[in-house]
């Protein structure tokens, strides 16, 4: 049981975390901060938070659990602002979709070894089509993976607390290094978002875009669903993990070139072989549980303020 959660960012991710803690009986009081007065008011009205704070440091003051549900680009400034208020035993987590930059930010912003020891970077593989506190729900993290990427300086006891906390919310917890996390999610989340953005832009750039889109069916809808994700969030994610994303983009270009080569050569046999290879791999992944719950997936909205 935690006495007080300091919630910094009361949107979909942070709000759902607070509701889940309350439903599980794991927190006595939630104090929240959001730069948006409307979001803060709605969080109060919906029972996501019990009290509002006028600033991030005041939300963290007296908290034995702090969650940063802010854009990844705001991590360092937020940690720097709250660090004078952090108690020596406080467990601090984030929910960002990139981790190497978050770890680097923590090393720059947290002032004492005890504060660094209490920081456990986290990435819940969960989200919804629509962001915002109005869409927060206690079940968001149930049956979902949560990736923890503790620092070498993180205290084992704090990693254990974080693991047990997420497990109590119904999540499946996995530990990875920040670098391994970023490489994996560049592959299965960040690059797919980049491709979806590119696909929509490619259609929109054509004079017949409206006509083409009027004829689109479920396949196009499913392929481009994640293109509707929050632009500012995905700008930050792609820039933060650009080295790994660009590496994966090169792998994609190689695969696309191979398919284009078969078309130019009118080589139906080779084309079918490449399609079969992809179809088989996709089917095997699905059989192994590839439904976005127990394998790394690509949520439409991975974080929200």
- Nearby residues of 47 by Cβ (< 8 Å), 6 or more positions away: 19, 22
Determine how β-strand 122-124 pairs with β-strand 145-148.
antiparallel
* Residue 234 contacts residue 193 (beta carbons within 8 Å): yes
pLDDT at 291: 52
Query: Rounded distance, CA 168 to CA 105, Å?
Result: 28
Predicted local distance difference test score (pLDDT) of residue 130: 79
Furthest-apart CA pair in the chain: how many Å? Answer: 68
Report pTM. 0.89
Residue whose tokens read 């803690």: 21
In order along its 305 residues, the chain shows pLDDT tens digits of 999 999 999 999 999 999 999 999 999 999 999 999 999 999 999 999 999 999 999 999 999 999 999 999 999 999 999 999 999 999 999 999 999 999 999 999 998 999 999 999 999 999 887 789 999 999 999 999 999 999 999 999 999 999 999 999 999 999 999 999 999 999 999 999 999 999 999 999 999 999 999 999 999 999 999 999 889 889 999 999 999 999 999 999 999 999 999 999 999 999 999 999 999 999 999 998 775 443 333 333 333 33
């Amino acid at each position: 049981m935690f006495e007080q959660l300091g919630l910094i960012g009361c949107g979909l991710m942070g709000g759902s975390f607070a509701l889940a803690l309350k439903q599980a009986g794991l927190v006595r009081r939630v104090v929240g901060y959001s730069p948006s007065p409307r979001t803060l008011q709605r969080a109060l009205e919906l029972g996501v938070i019990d009290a509002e704070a006028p600033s991030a440091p005041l939300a963290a003051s007296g908290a034995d659990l702090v969650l940063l549900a802010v854009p990844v680009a705001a991590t360092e400034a937020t940690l720097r602002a709250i660090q004078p208020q952090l108690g020596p035993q406080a467990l601090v987590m984030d929910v960002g979709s990139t981790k190497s930059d978050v770890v680097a930010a923590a090393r720059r912003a947290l002032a004492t070894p005890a504060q660094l020891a209490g920081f456990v970077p986290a990435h819940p593989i969960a989200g919804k089509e629509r962001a915002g506190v109005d869409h927060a729900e206690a079940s968001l993290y149930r049956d979902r993976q949560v990736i923890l990427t503790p620092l070498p300086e993180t205290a084992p006891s704090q990693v254990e607390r974080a693991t047990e906390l997420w497990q109590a919310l119904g999540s499946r917890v996995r530990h990875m290094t920040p670098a391994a996390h970023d490489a994996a999610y560049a592959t299965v989340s960040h690059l797919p978002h980049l491709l979806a953005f590119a696909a929509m832009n490619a259609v929109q750039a054509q004079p017949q875009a409206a006509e083409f889109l009027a004829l689109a069916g479920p396949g196009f809808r499913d392929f481009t669903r994640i293109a509707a994700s929050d632009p500012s969030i995905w700008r930050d994610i792609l820039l933060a993990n650009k080295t790994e994303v660009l590496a994966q983009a090169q792998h994609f270009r190689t695969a696309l070139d191979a398919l284009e080569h078969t078309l130019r050569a009118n080589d139906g046999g080779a084309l079918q072989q490449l399609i079969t290879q992809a179809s088989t791999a996709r089917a095997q992944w699905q059989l192994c549980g590839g439904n976005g719950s127990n394998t790394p997936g690509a949520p439409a909205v991975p974080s929200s303020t």
